[in-house]
Structure 1
Amino acid sequence: MEANYIQSRQNEQVKNLVKLRERKHRDRQSRFLIEGLREIGHALRAGFEITQVYICPEFYPAGGAHADFVEKTLQAARCPVTRLSTEAFEKASVREGPDGLIAVATQQNNVLSDLKLSQPPLILILEGIEKPGNLGAILRSADGAGVDAVILVDCVLDLYNPNAIRSSQGLLFALPIVSTDRDTLSQWLEAQSIPCLASTPDTDRLHWDVDYQCGIALMMGSESDGLSPYWLERATQKIRIPMTGQADSLNVAAAAAVCLYEAKRQRSLSKRQNKIYKKTSQASQT
């Protein structure tokens, strides 16, 4: 694949890549950066529009996967490709160890009515999350636990923050994610008849003492303040993770993982029991 070439760090395209590190420029352009083969691959598979890809083969890891990705995957997706000098790429990259691939993509603005939920649904609601690293880690856990959707409510954090994308390892693109306000979300939850499970240290009920097999929305609050009184008052049930040390709670990313995997454990166990019951019933009829 023949690519255009940019040598100078002062090139306007390179300057714009640097601008897209900031939320105000991402919002103005409705564009954002994706860095790394794995992350760009997830975005393509999720149907994100890639408007431009910048490559620097000097940074490709050994093995040939990156060259194949550019020659085959990007070409098949008809993504425009521009080659950067090492100096220009280093200026554009936000990573300490870049792998030679940066993409510019168009933002997607999903709304609650877009969500397609399984039955019974498992939804994760995050209120006021502030740190991109925590958001990324939570999204990895949500993907692994089989969450149907992640809803960010009154979130000060930009979903397309480069650090959120990096810490999620690109799984941000694999999940249906909606940003909304509390009134809109409250009305939607009521219309969907989905009970809310609020994580808070101020309750006696432990996280494993509730039934996750029904449709449920797990709610986690901000790193500093937890869930607001608004959501604590509206929760169907409140849960806490047992702590035996001096700390009263886990980091929000760790807490989300613990609760989500308890939901996955219960649901997986229920499926196995149903399979065993069906096999036993069939055997007794023969």
Structure 2
Amino acid sequence: MRKQISSTQNKTVKQILQLQEKSRTRRKEGLFLIEGIREIQLAQKANYEFTAVYFCPDLIKEEKLLKFQFTEHLLTEITTEVYKKIAYRSGTEGILAIAKTKSHELSNLQFKTENPLILVAEAPEKPGNIGAILRTADAAKVDAVIIANPKTDLYNPNIIRSSVGCVFTNQITTGTTSEIIEFLQEKKVAIYSAILQDSEIYTKQDFTKASAIVVGTEAVGLSEEWRKNATQNIHIPMQGEIDSMNVSVAAGILIFEAKRQRKFN
């Protein structure tokens, strides 16, 4: 008989909410929550290991559930009331899963080509911005996304939601700014830091060789270390009253210029 949860006071419900709300719990347990059909499918494709799946039969049809091909021991049937308690978004797809986190150590990063295109984001904090950056990276099919000095853990439910599951489709690593600069220099990857000081317009650069495009936050920009160690500092001309734009928009402009130069290969 399939496992069932009908009470919002169930111990498992409280554990799920802890995973949803607390990064400390996610780090300690090495687990995180995924909500939504597409997101779960992308995590499956990326070979994430699932430990539990919760579904509401009033919201998701059995045939859709069967398409995931989950083994029966992973499945737990929950009521609509329980689903509403543990769901963190307004959609009613009726399925959530718990999966094991993966390591995102810089030392694990591998490239399939000799001229990789890498997007580096320093100290992004807002989950919405991180999600948008990951969507841009997925759309451009960059070789890797590196997050320097991360302020938010990758498995924050809002990052998974705002990235539409692209946290699973990108090769993502993290590290300190110093570690990343050293890594890129060892790999002979040109560093293009998006910073106003000592910079040239981005369209004058050659992004066809191994390149890392580095962006900072709108509030503080990039640290001085990136300016000093850049192959070239670059900027996007601003013609309005303000001197900065959303980091995900800036990343999109720069990354797709690189893709254009590479004839979208």
Same fold (TM over 0.5): yes
Taking structure 1 as the reference length, what is the TM-score of the superposition?
0.87
Does structure 2 conserve the Cα–Cα contact (< 8 Å) formed by 1:130 and 1:223? no
Task: Give the Å deviation of 1:222.
Answer: 2.2
Task: Give the Å deviation of 1:252.
Answer: 0.2
Q: Counterpart of 1:236?
A: 231
Query: What's the Cα RMSD here?
Result: 1.6
Task: Give the Å deviation of 1:26.
Answer: 0.6
Task: Give the Å deviation of 1:78.
Answer: 6.4
CA gap of 1:79–1:120, structure 2 versus 1, over 3 A, is: farther
* Counterpart Cα distance in 2 of 1:37 and 1:9: 23
Q: Counterpart of 2:77?
A: 83
* Counterpart Cα distance in 2 of 1:213 and 1:3: 54
Q: Does 1:8 align with 2:34?
A: no
* Pairing partner for 1:223 from 218, 222, 236: 218
Matched AA of 1:106: K
Task: Give the Å deviation of 1:201.
Answer: 3.2
Q: Counterpart of 1:210?
A: 205
Q: Counterpart of 2:45?
A: 45
CA gap of 1:213–1:78, structure 2 versus 1, over 3 A, is: farther
* Counterpart Cα distance in 2 of 1:183 and 1:268: 32
* Counterpart Cα distance in 2 of 1:248 and 1:203: 16
Task: Give the Å deviation of 1:163.
Answer: 0.6
Matched AA of 2:16: L
Give CA deviations for 1:4-49 in whole Å, capped at 9, x if unaligned.
Answer: 1100001011111110121011111110111000000000000111
Task: Give the Å deviation of 1:207.
Answer: 1.6
5+ residue gaps, structure 1: 272-286
SS at match of 1:48: coil
Give CA deviations for 1:152-195 in whole Å, capped at 9, x if unaligned.
Answer: 11111111110100111101101111111123222211211111
Matched AA of 2:88: V
Matched AA of 1:139: L
Q: Counterpart of 2:28?
A: 28
Matched AA of 1:44: Q
Task: Give the Å deviation of 1:79.
Answer: 6.6
**TM superposition outliers: structure 1 runs of 4+ over 4 Å:** none
* Counterpart Cα distance in 1 of 2:55 and 2:255: 37
Matched AA of 2:92: P
Q: How does 1:1-286 map to 2 (within 5 A)?
A: 3-21=2-20, 22-60=22-60, 67-75=62-70, 80-117=74-111, 118-268=113-263
Task: Give the Å deviation of 1:108.
Answer: 0.3
Moved more, 252-261 or 79-88: 79-88
* Counterpart Cα distance in 1 of 2:65 and 2:2: 10
* Counterpart Cα distance in 1 of 2:99 and 2:218: 29
Moved more, 78-87 or 147-156: 78-87
* Counterpart Cα distance in 1 of 2:13 and 2:104: 29
* Counterpart Cα distance in 1 of 2:196 and 2:24: 36
| % same residue | 39
More helix by share: 1
* Counterpart Cα distance in 2 of 1:78 and 1:244: 58
SS at match of 1:97: coil
Does structure 2 conserve the Cα–Cα contact (< 8 Å) formed by 1:140 and 1:169? yes
Task: Give the Å deviation of 1:58.
Answer: 2.0
* Counterpart Cα distance in 2 of 1:101 and 1:124: 32
Larger radius of gyration: 1
Does structure 2 conserve the Cα–Cα contact (< 8 Å) formed by 1:57 and 1:100? yes
SS at match of 1:25: helix
